[in-house]
Chains A and B, each alone.
Chain A
Amino acid sequence: MVPVSYYIVLSAVLFSLGIVGFLFKRNIITMFMSIELMLNAVNLAFVAFGRSLGQLQGQVFVFFVIVVAAAEAAVGLAIVILIQRNRKTLNVERVNLLKL
């Protein structure tokens, strides 16, 4: 059997890669996908901990995380479409109306 800490290490690696993607990418859609990657990493940690504790609450939590991620993707992509329509770009650095 695989030790639980292996799963948690994999989860940490995926989460860090998500952060790197969020920092590096300038395309708003790819930044969005990096956030989804981080959510997936957290889900893996939830399931692994739930398994190691012999409880199902972890999986219930993952279920709710997936539902919220779906809602977030729907609203977020609608905002992306609005940004593209109003500013004719997907580069986040050109969406700087609130910047000093």
Chain B
Amino acid sequence: MKTVIRLENVSKSYFLGSVEVPALKSANLEIHSGEFTAVIGASGSGKSTLLNLIGCIDDPTSGRVWLENTDVLSLSDDKKSDLRNQKIGFIFQSFNLVPVLSVFENVELPLLINPLISPKDRRARVKEAINDVGLEKLAGNRPDQLSGGQRQRVAIARALAGQPILVLADEPTANLDSETSIKIIELMLNLNAKKGITFLFSTHDDRVMNRVSRIVHIKDGVVSA
């Protein structure tokens, strides 16, 4: 299988005043196309740091991050932005939808800045993504008119609309009740199965363990695949 992401001896430290706090220690990891991978670890173990580095929204203290064949650290800030826009989809724990936009417009948002997509294709992709998450009847609604589960579906549709090679989600079900959480995981699984979309997400939910194709453990900043 094609390697989507590769981490080589990646470390990340934060500073609390003058005190260095290591969050990730010499992590090596490969994620392959089509995988449905869960990152498991206790709170504060470094899951979010790992996902931030893979998503190119943070820079490692040392090591290298490869997205397909691109050395992410060699890119300028604008190129990294373009890379995120065209290759990576993000699903946020608190949805992060724009409250003044409709479902359709929220999903359309990341496509507005992609110069490779024509307006016609953009609308088609948005419709397809909304259909994939089953919200076609609510496309005109605003986020405050939706339930928590529906909002997360919008967030998933937004992540999918750009047809990324990788979708990252940090505890996507943390703000949802258990029934809705299961439905969201089922949805992600279906999309992975039907469309071959590569998912990498962090979770605490034990019920997810036996549904994923791969589990990555992380403890005190040390990754064990």
Asked whether A and B interact, the reply is no
